[in-house]
Chains A and B, each alone.
Chain A
Amino acid sequence: MDFADSARSRDIRQRLDAFIDRYLLPYNAAWHAAAARGESTPPFVQDLKELAQSEGLWNLFLPSLRADQPGTALSNLDYAPLAESMGRLPWACEIFNCSAPDTGNMELLQLFATPAQRSAWLDPLLAGTIRSAFAMSEPDVASSDPTNLQTTVRVEGNQLVLNGRKWFITGAAHPACRLLIVMGRSAGAAGPRHANHSIVLVPLQTPGVEILRNIAILQHLTPEGHCEIVLRDVRVPLGNLLGREGEGFAMAQARLGPGRIHHCMRTVGQCELALRLMCDRALERQAFGKTLADFANVQ
């Protein structure tokens, strides 16, 4: 099969690349300077987001984007090369409202949210006015086997009560983060192992939600954070349950597949950039009478 870009994908990729070259690259050093100071959203980021949205370079990751939602709908195949381009700069995705974990969260909400949940959370996410985080991994169990997850969700009258500890929750430290999407086990659930978990929408400022720390990845701290979070008797209305009780795993699959492909495409973008940087360097740098590019073990 030939997966060469469609004409539409090529056109939008050219526009995206031109936008990145013209508007983002000149601000790249300023962004890194701001990040070094711990600021995740210097003022020009908001200006660039508005400009990108006005050019239709917005919400490019969502094949099910409707006509009444902002942005441009693309298939996963057509979006893939755009993710490759965005991968080259750590902050490019945000300008086009294509950042993880929000893309996966928007997919979940698009599929399963009630009308009230859509207007409270999905609409502002699609507009880029708020950020979100997905709280699944836990420090106390091997979370790669999701049936191990221990955070509990208990029904008490007209409320859901959550208790547990999560970590490596990406985005929870972003100043615009307002929503935590929590995967938890229904307290007292006794069904088949894969049908015990539910997904609950928790406003980040709910009493009982405590962000303990931003965990550095190999000594490297990111402004949006990979956070450790404790949930201590966190109470939300019953209406904050996403989809149906016990269907957490099935729903989570909807966000994981496309999200992994996006990460992989960004990886390809980063590897291609690294290769270009490496070749430039090898052609420029000289030692022992030759350029590095002339040495066999550099080639």
Chain B
Amino acid sequence: MLRSAWLLDQGHDARVDVSAIKVVAARLQTRVLNRAIQTFGAMGLSPDTPLAYFWTWGRAMQLLDGPDEVHLRSIARNEIDHARRQRGASAAYFTTPEQMRAPPHIR
């Protein structure tokens, strides 16, 4: 999150970082608030604490300002574009029988 803010300050294109943190933050909020509400018992459901409001807002943030799915798509397309520019670079990490039979080759 702080890295995204820093990237924006530097004038870099921070869109992928911002998308990533947006998904993480929204899902984090419902996870944390589910635990917190449970710890309070029935009181956690009432207006007597801010927890019900925070839970509702966290659930809404998985849709508002871009649904999770759209942000995940942006992140995925960025990763795939990156991979497309470096096709085959991961081949050296395979250990197929053919590769094991061939002698090591320093370029």
Contacts and interface: CB of A to CB of B under 8 A. Distances in A.
A120 to B, nearest CB: 27
B56 A268 contact: no
- Which of the four size classes fits the interface of chain A? 35 or more
Contacts of B50: 88-90, 270, 273-274, 277
A217 B60 contact: yes
B56 A267 contact: no
Interface residues of B, number: 43
A261 B56 contact: no
Given A267-B25, A267-B61, A277-B36, A80 B2 contact: yes
B106 to A, nearest CB: 34
Interface string B8-20: 1100001100110
A278 B59 contact: no
Interface secondary structure of A, over-half rule: helix
A258 B53 CA distance: 24
Given A168-B64, A263-B25, A264-B21, A277 B6 contact: no
Nearest to B24: A264
Interface stretch (A71-79, A177-185, A205-213, A237-245): A71-79
Given A264-B25, A267-B26, A257 B15 contact: yes
The 5 closest A-B pairs by CB, nearest first: A3-B2, A76-B5, A264-B25, A274-B36, A278-B36
Given A32-B47, A273-B50, 6 more contacts: A89-B50, A253-B15, A259-B65, A271-B28, A271-B54, A281-B40
